[in-house]
């Protein structure tokens, strides 16, 4: 069957339009797949100093994000002691911001700890924000 010049041109245009539609559909499907992924979770940053004075652990927040007490845990040698920490300037704490110092008095019945971990618990998984080694005890002058 011989096609006229008009029919041949019409066939080429139809083929090109079909190809564009197929490629556009494929690109759209890939875009939907990529954009439907959940955004990655942001774990807060933290910079601290830790000091052990006699039997009191002091952790000073020197930089990074404010951590909400309800969204974090402080593990002392692997045991959650978050509720045993208090602000050095007194009172209960709901957030731990730059400049704040948390303190924990180690009971005489327990040995001095060797490690502390600050864990972020507000996300979908528990992420270690900072892992600290407890330094040797110092005695204030």
pLDDT tens digits for range 31-44 = 887 777 777 677 78
pLDDT tens profile 61-116: 999 888 888 989 999 999 999 999 999 887 778 889 999 999 999 999 988 898 89
Average pLDDT over residues 112-122: 88
Question: SS3 of 101, please?
Answer: strand
**pLDDT for res 8:** 61
As given in the structure block, the two tokens for residue 40 are: 């990655």
pTM, rounded to two decimals: 0.67
């Amino acid at each position: 069957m011989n096609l006229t010049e008009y029919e041949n041109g019409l066939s080429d245009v139809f083929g090109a339009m079909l190809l564009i539609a197929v490629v556009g559909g494929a690109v759209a499907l890939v875009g939907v797949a990529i954009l439907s992924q959940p955004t990655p979770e942001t774990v807060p940053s933290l910079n601290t100093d830790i000091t052990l004075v006699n039997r009191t652990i002091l952790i000073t927040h020197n930089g990074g994000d404010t951590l909400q007490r309800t969204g974090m845990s402080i593990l002392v040698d692997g045991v959650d002691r978050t509720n045993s920490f208090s602000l050095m300037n007194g009172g209960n704490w709901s957030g731990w911001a730059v400049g704040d110092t948390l303190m924990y008095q180690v009971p005489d019945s327990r040995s001095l700890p060797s490690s502390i971990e600050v864990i972020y618990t507000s996300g979908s998984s528990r992420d270690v924000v900072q892992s600290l080694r407890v330094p040797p005890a110092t005695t204030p002058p």
